[in-house]
Amino acid sequence: MDSKKLYVVGIGPGSEEDMTIRARNTLEKSDVICGYTVYCDLVKPIFPDKEYISTPMMGEEKRVLLALKRADEGVTVSLICSGDAGVYGMSGLAFELKKDFPEVEVEVIPGVTAALSGAALLGAPLIHDFCLISLSDRLTKIELIEKRLKAAASADMVIVIYNPESKSRKGYLAHACDILMEIIPGERVCGIAKNIARADEESLVTTLEKLKETPADMFSTVFIGNSSTKNIGDMMVTLRGYKSEL
Amino acid sequence: MDSKKLYVVGIGPGSEEDMTIRARNTLEKSDVICGYTVYCDLVKPIFPDKEYISTPMMGEEKRVLLALKRADEGVTVSLICSGDAGVYGMSGLAFELKKDFPEVEVEVIPGVTAALSGAALLGAPLIHDFCLISLSDRLTKIELIEKRLKAAASADMVIVIYNPESKSRKGYLAHACDILMEIIPGERVCGIAKNIARADEESLVTTLEKLKETPADMFSTVFIGNSSTKNIGDMMVTLRGYKSEL
């Protein structure tokens, strides 16, 4: 008999074409798809005949427990996450909570996280060493977030900011820009990608001081360049230094 | 008439199933596939009828120029990169060099980079803020690499190490472990993923002090946990703190 299986699946930015073939095949063979309401609504048109269990934002633990419970009943369950399953995703909680479901095997299917899909829209902002930092202080102290921003800027790493703002967290991106401008110049090339792979997708290459005034929300991903990042024809491009080899 | 097009395509770890649907469709509609010899050999069995231009390691600039030149002739060209197109990939060089080919439009197709595919193998090591740092000092001064390792460790970020060692760079991973152990304890949970998505794929969850003795090569991706990372049933799991919401 097959083992009881819970898949934690990164669906990428949201369009079917941006899923991996493995993610699409996994959803196809699942009986139940479980996820945050917004992400379930994204995949329902692709897999209309599945059973859906959707829970609202911040119901993460309940959502993972429901998914484990259904998997333990012997049906194949996919717990979906936007972007990747393990980048601010549900895979960690699945491994933590699985101890009460010893027969369920958890398998993670990776996906394209917003740092990668947003980078592709903006040009080539990453290219070399970079950090991902979330500005959400729901589960992380603001002092630690500030410390991480400063550490990354001091070490000249490209910084990708997730969750820059939300309805309840206004002014967080401007605050982060102020902290970064203590270390890096205001003319540093930056970018922002919004609603990646959706109908209202947009991207903008700008500077750190202008970024401070740019509206952002929870569907925005922000890119802070390093000292080698240039604006080349309105694309954000970090140079790696291959020229030196010629 | 369609514009002249160069696609820079992240093919993921190497298996067809781990490509995005968009990456596969893009290769399908291309006339020419251009890339490092090893990556061309990975996709040849999937697309046997394409024209291939493969160049050896370190021929990056020549490779991108060849791809731009063919695109400028009016054929559709895909320049392939392992993992993502913009993470230690070729997309930056394509935007830099495209100035001599004003009619060619460059489009980046993102893919699953080894930080994500390796994380899925190991469990859930990322989950929250993390850094990618390459140990290759071919294009980056070793002092800057060391500074970045220290900055990331001091700010309690998970660290993903790319290019830990190669035939010409022996002992680099052990040196990085020594630098990290100045800041974080030797019992810190770490992991290593090798030959991801290939026949000889393997993964190991270990500790920082044991990692120092672990063989690695250019097909290895190394994960250093943060202070919340646990070994749960031989999986590497970083806790995010959802428990506190119950």
A164 CB near a chain B CB, below 8 Å? no
Q: Which helix (H) or strand (E) holds A232?
A: strand A229-232
Give the residue with greater pLDDT, B10 vs A1: B10
Evaluated on CA atoms A235, B133, B205, B241, the torsion sign reads negative
- A7 Cα distance to chain centroid: 18
| Closest Cα in chain A, distance from residue B119 (Å) | 7
pLDDT tens profile B92-119: 999 999 999 999 999 999 999 999 999 9
Confidence of residue B240 (pLDDT cuts 50, 70, 90): confident
pLDDT at A34: 97
| Residues A238, B139, A245, B97, Cα dihedral to 10° | -10
In the DSSP assignment, the letter for residue A226 is: -
DSSP 8-state code for residue A47: S
Q: What is the pLDDT of residues B76-92, one digit of tens each?
A: 999 999 999 999 999 99
Write the single-letter amino acid at A229. Answer: T
What is the distance in angstroms between the Cα of A225 and the nearest Cα belonging to chain B?
13
For residue A89, the chain B residues in CB contact (below 8 A) are: 124, 127
Tens-digit pLDDT string for chain A (246 aa) = 567 999 999 999 989 999 999 999 999 999 999 999 989 999 999 999 999 999 877 688 999 999 999 999 999 999 999 999 999 999 999 999 999 999 999 999 999 999 999 999 999 999 999 999 999 998 899 999 999 999 999 999 999 999 999 999 999 999 999 999 999 999 999 999 999 998 899 999 999 999 999 999 999 999 999 999 999 999 999 998 654 443
Instruction: For residue B154, list chain A residues with Cβ-Cβ distance below 8 A.
Output: 151
Give Cα B157 to chain centroid, integer Å. 18
What's the CA gap between A187 and B24, in Å, rounded? 38
Concatenated DSSP letters of A129-171? -EEEEE---SSS-HHHHHHHHHHHHHTT-EEEEES--BTTBTT
Residues 67-96 of chain A whose Cβ lies under 8 A from any Cβ of chain B: 84-89, 91-96
Residues of chain B with Cβ-Cβ distance to A99 below 8 Å are 232
According to the model, what pLDDT value does residue B22 have?
98
Task: Determine if the pTM surpasses 0.80.
Answer: yes
ipTM of the complex: 0.96
Shortest distance between the Cα of A81 and any Cα of chain B, in A, equals 12
Alpha helices (runs of H) in chain B, residue ranges in sequence order: 21-28, 37-43, 60-72, 91-97, 114-122, 142-154, 172-181, 208-211
Q: Indicate whether B244 pLDDT > 80.
A: no
What is the crossing angle of helices B142-154 and B172-181, to 10°? 40
Q: How far is the CA of A154 from the CAs of A182, A185, B160, B166, B202, in angstroms?
A: 10, 12, 19, 28, 35
Measure CA A99 to chain center.
27
Q: How far apart are CA A90 and CA B77, in angstroms?
A: 37
Residues in B closer than 8 angstroms to A117, CB to CB, are 110
In angstroms, rounded to a whole number, what is the distance separating the alpha carbons of residues B145 and B161? 11
* pLDDT tens readout for residues B192-208: 999 999 889 999 999 99
Whole-angstrom Cα distance, residue B159 to residue B151? 10
pLDDT of residue B2: 64
- What integer best gives the mean pLDDT of chain B? 94
Distance CA A212, CA A214 (A): 6
A125 and chain B in contact, CB less than 8 A: yes
d(CA B130, CA A162): 12
**β-bridge partners, A108:** A8
Q: Which of residues 128-157 of A touch B (CB under 8 A)?
A: 128-134, 139-140, 144, 147-148, 150-152, 154-157
- Do the Cβ atoms of A161 and A190 come closer than 8 Å? no
